[in-house]
Amino acid sequence: MTVLLTIGVFLLIFFVYGFTIKFNNYTYGKYKYEFFQIKSLCHTSISYALLYFGNNSYQDAVLKNGDILNGQLLVLFGLIGLITLIAINLSKTGFIIGVIGSIFQLLIYSVIAVFGFVVSICLLGFFAQTKPVFNINSKY
């Protein structure tokens, strides 16, 4: 079963990658605009991070009867970022292609943003070269 699951995941990744390349080629050929670029990935990743950390900040403030404005502002800035990206997609392409492309783009970038965040935290920990702390006065 594990082998079938692994093959299925690789086939899904291959299919999604092929579809994004074809979709990018189509939109570039027809509208001179590519949906999947590094700058749109960074834009979306930052917006998702603002949404996530803003929501966490808001929930913590509600539980502690604290200031909820910080979390609300972060969520607002994250939503503004996503709406801006969707508006750019719609202005560069038609309505139907813009909506379909934006939905597909946001779904793909959400997965990439989560994995990218985990990888960046792991790389930060690796390159920080943390060492174990030894207590000289310990009996062990």
Q: What is the pLDDT of residues 85-123, one digit of tens each?
A: 999 999 999 899 999 999 999 999 999 998 988 998 889
Smallest CA-to-CA distance from 48 within 119, 3, 107, 90 is with 107
Cα–Cα distance between 108 and 116 in angstroms, integer?
12
Q: What is the pLDDT of residues 46-79, one digit of tens each?
A: 999 999 999 999 999 999 988 899 999 999 999 9
Smallest CA-to-CA distance from 113 within 39, 45, 35, 23 is with 45
